[in-house]
Structure 1
Amino acid sequence: MGQVVRIAIQKSGRLSEKSLEIIKNCGIKFGSDSRVLKEEASNFPLEFLYVRDDDIPSYVRDGVADIGIVGRNEFDEQAIDLEVIRDLGFAKCRLSIAVPNDFSYQGLASLEGKRIATSYPHILEGILSEKGIKATFVQVSGSVEVTPAIGLADVICDLVSTGATLAMNGLREVEKIYTSTAVMIGRKKMGNDEKAAILSRLLLRIDAVMRAASYKYVIFNLPEEHLDQVAGIVGGMKSPTVTRLMEKGWLSVQTVVAEDLFWDVFEQLKALGAQGILVTPIEKMTE
C-alpha cells in the first residue's frame, strides 16, 4: 500500500463545508457521512480526519495529520511553528473591538488600562503592543459579548459577522483590527518525498479550482471595427479568441475576464456595440 497524505478538517460548520467543497471540486471522491471521523478518498491518496478546529494546528505539529485547513485566526492565536501552505480565501471574518454604547472610543489608545474580554489574547496583545498600549486581557472561550454587562470587562475583542449579537448586548463595533480567512497549514518539511509529491499534486488541483473561481468565460459578438479597442479592454490569458461570423463585418470573441473587473468590462463592451454577451463560470483553470 502506498503513502497517503492525511488532512485534518473541522468536523462540522461553515469552514468544514467550504473545505470539503474545494476538495470535491478537485475531482477527489470521498463519502459524506457526518458521523465518520476518519475516511479515505477513493480516487486520490488522501485521508481525512474530522476534528475540532482548535485541535488542527497541534495535530499537524504532532504529526497526527500532515496538513490541515483552519481559520487563520485559530492558527495565529496558537502561534505554533507551522507553515501556511495556501491562503484559501473563504470563511472570511474579522476581529473587532466592540464597546458599550456609552463608551467614548477615540481609537485604540482608548483601551489603555482597560479590561478586554477576548478569545484571542495572543493576537490582540501583539496588535496593542505594536502601538505601545497596555491592557488587561480577560480570556473567555464563548459568550464574549455578555462580559461588559456582568462587570467582567470594560470592552471586548471578538469575531464579528453582522454585528447583530453585539447590538443585542448593548455593544457597538468601533474598529476592525484583524481579518481572517481559511488557510491550509503544514509542517515546514513534509519529511517524506512520496507525501511531498502527493501534496504537490493536490496543490496543483486546488490552485486550478481557486483560479477558476476568480474568472468568468465571456463570449460576445462584436462589430469588426472595434476589435482593437476591445482587445485592449479584455486582454485574456494571452489574447482573445476571434472567429468570423457569416454576417459581414461581425466577429465572435471569446475571452476570460477577472470576476472583480467583469462589470466594468461589461459596460465598456456594450458601449462598443457588443451583442449577445454570454457569461459562464469556469470549473478549472491554469495559467
Structure 2
Amino acid sequence: MLKLAIQKSGRLHEDSMKLLKECGIAISNGANKLKTEATNFPLQVFFLRDDDIPQYVEDAVADIGIVGENVVYEKNKSVKTVEQLGFGGCRLSIAVVRGEQYNNIQSLEGRRIATSYPHLTKQFLKKNKVNAEIHEISGSVEIAPGIGLSDAICDLVSSGSTLLTNGLKEVETILQSQAVLIRHNNFNAAQQQVLDKLLFRIHAVRKAKNNKYILLNAPNDKLDEIIGLLPGMKSPTVLPLADKGWSSVHSVLSEDEFWDKIEQLKAAGAQGILVVPIEKMVM
C-alpha cells in the first residue's frame, strides 16, 4: 500500500483527483474526509494542507505527494521530485505598484517586500546582491502595498488579473512552477513497484493529452507525400477505401505540431480529416 498526500482543497486538489480518476484509480472523497483508500489500486490518500505535504513526505508519513514546485522549493525539505505533472502552472514573481518607475532588480534595494515565500524571496535577492526588508504574511499578499505594509510583493501569478486589479505590475520572475509528484528518500522495493505502476498510468494519460488521433482520406497518387507528413508512433495505418484510387490513413499527431500538419495535409490532397481525442496512450 502506497500512501499519497494531496491538497485537501485549493487549486491543485481538483486536478490531482482528476488525474487519479484518469489513471483508473477509484477514490471516494467525502466531505471533511482526511484519509481514504482506493478500491482498485494499492493506494491510500491523505488530504492535507499543501504547505504540510513536503514535511509529511520527508518524514515518510506519506510515501508520495502531489504539490506545487513552489512549495517544494520554499519548504526545502529532503524529498525527491519524481515527475512533473503538467497542471497547476504558475510563476512566483515580484510585483510593484503600477506607475512606479522600475529599472532593474537593483530598484528593490532598501524596499519592503511582502510575501508568503520568504525563503525563495531571500534566495533571489541574495543571488542578485540586493538588500531588502522581507515581511512574511499569509494570504492576500497583493493588498500589502495598498495598505502601506510594503513597497512590493512576491507572490504566485497565473493570469496576472489579480495584480492588475490591485494596481500592481509584474517586474521579476523568480520561479516557474507546476504540480509535481514527490517521494521520500527511503523507498523499499515494494513501494517502488507500486510507484512504477502508478507512473506507468500517469505517463499513458499525459501522453494521450499531448496527442491527437487523426483519420483522413487520401488519393493513392498522393499517399507517399501524405505518409511523409504522418510518422505516427511507428508509421501510419493505410487501408483501402471502397472507392478505387483512395485510401484511409490513420495516425497520431502531437499537439505542438497539429495545426501546421493539418494545413500541410490539406495542401497535399487529404480530405475528410477527422480528429479524435485519445483517452490513454501506452507506449
TM-score tier after normalising by the smaller chain length? over 0.9
Q: Give the unaligned 5+ runs of structure 1.
A: none
Which amino acid in structure 2 is aligned with residue 131 of structure 1? N
What is the aligned counterpart of 2:44 among 38, 44, 47? 47
1:198 correspondence with 2:194:
yes
Give the secondary structure class of the aligned counterpart of 1:19. Answer: helix
Secondary structure of the 1:14 match is coil
Residue equivalent to 1:91: 88
Tell me which amino acid in the other structure corresponds to 2:271. Answer: Q
* Superposed CA offset, 1:135-174 (max 9, x none): 2211111111121122221111111223332233222223
Check conservation: 1:11, 1:34, Cα contact below 8 A: no
One-letter amino acid matched to 2:137: V
| CA shift for structure 1 position 120 | 1.1
Mapped to 2, the partners of 1:133 and 1:229 lie a distance apart of 58
Q: How many residues align?
A: 283
* Structure 2 alignment gaps of length 5 or more: none
Is 1:124 aligned to 2:105, yes or no? Answer: no
Indicate if the aligned counterparts of 2:226 and 2:270 stay in contact, CA closer than 8 A: no
Contact 2:89 2:158 in 1 (8 A): no
TM-score by structure 1 length?
Answer: 0.94
Equivalence for 2:3: 6
- What whole-Å deviation, never above 9, does each CA across 1:66-117 have from its counterpart, x for those lacking one? 0000011111100111100110010111112211123211122221222111
* 2:232 aligned to which of 229, 236, 247: 236
Q: Secondary structure at the match of 2:145?
A: coil
Distance in 2, matches of 1:132 and 1:286, equals 48
Q: Once superposed, what is the RMSD of the aligned Cα atoms?
A: 1.4
Tell me which amino acid in the other structure corresponds to 1:17.
Answer: E
Note if 1:152 corresponds to 2:157: no
- Over 3 Å off, 4+ runs: none
1:108 corresponds to 2:105: yes
For the 8 Å contact 2:112–2:151, the answer to whether it is kept is yes
Distance change in 2, residues 1:131/1:227 (3 Å)? farther
Is 2:29–2:36's contact at 8 Å kept on the other side of the alignment? Answer: no
Q: Secondary structure at the match of 1:98?
A: strand
Q: Determine the C-alpha separation between the residues in 1 that align with 2:26 and 2:117.
A: 36
Taking structure 2 as the reference length, the TM-score comes to 0.95
Report the alpha carbon displacement of residue 59 of structure 1 after superposing the two structures with TM: 0.6
